[in-house]
Chains A and B, each alone.
Chain A
Amino acid sequence: MSNDSGAPMVEATHHGPILAAGILLGTGLGGFVDGIVLHQILQWHNMLSSVRPPVDLVAMKYNMVWDGLFHALTWIMTAAGLARLWRAGRRPDVPWSTRTLVGALFLGWGLFNAIEGVIDHQLLGIHHVHPGEAELAWDLGFIASGVLMVAGGWAAVRAGRADTTPRGAVPRVLKGATP
């Protein structure tokens, strides 16, 4: 097999780099959803709101600092994911698979929610999703949503194993269709 310039074309079967990029991007973007929606817009909890309830201005500012640190870490994960995706796109042995990338995004987002839920909500109790009478139900629901995203993401990643076209190359199906 060769590309348009006549150079031999490698079949792209190395899914690892795009999986790693998707997992990092999913962690970062999923963390942003948590921080923006649950911490800021709905104000259900903050990073240390069960340790230091935000009942006065100083306590609110204290939690704001830790929320800021959480957002800084999600930004770093997103930037690292973008860098890895860029590198993956330059490799001829890595398939440019939408299914693999989207699957890995959900895999990363779901796994992060599950890990963060178990560590921060259940083991350490530094905050809960929706503090109050039914906080355990909210916390378990949050972890369950993570597990569901992992399952969906994993299914998409498995389906993407069939994709072997690198970035910029024309898939074989389309090549056959052109006159």
Chain B
Amino acid sequence: MEKEIAPIARLARIGAALAALLTPCTSLACPSCPAGRAARQQVCEEGLGINLAIALLPFALMFAVSLAFERAGGAR
């Protein structure tokens, strides 16, 4: 019985994969789909300034460290 179903199941899976390739779905990369718009809107509205500051902080510190090493690592 299982042997009879297996080829049909395989064909169904191939069919589903082809259908997924041909039809648009919600997880498509999209510059202006509803999910993309909602995400961008939330980025702008939910603590943009503080999140930017948090993201920048470690890099700003490392830049300051590099400047300090440039000055301190002078001629012997």
Contact = CB atoms under 8 A, between A and B. Distances in A.
Chain B binds chain A: yes
Interface of A: 13-17, 19-21, 23-24, 27, 31, 47-48, 52, 57-59, 61-62, 64-66, 69-70, 73-74, 76-77, 80, 84, 93, 104, 108, 111-112, 115-116, 119-120, 124, 126, 161
A19 B69 contact: yes
A23 B52 CA distance: 23
B58 A112 contact: yes
B7 to A, nearest CB: 35
Q: Is the interface of A mostly helix, strand, loop or mixed?
A: helix
Q: Is the interface of B mostly helix, strand, loop or mixed?
A: helix
Contacts of B65: 23, 108, 111
B39 A120 contact: no
B73 A19 contact: yes
Given A20-B69, A62-B39, A77 B62 contact: yes
Across the A-B interface, the 4 shortest Cβ-Cβ residue pairs: A16-B73, A61-B39, A20-B70, A20-B66
A64 B51 CA distance: 14
**Which bucket holds chain B's interface residue count?**
20 to 34
Contacts of B72: 16
A115 B66 CA distance: 14
B62 A23 contact: yes
Contacts of A120: 54, 58
B51 A66 contact: yes
B24 interface: no
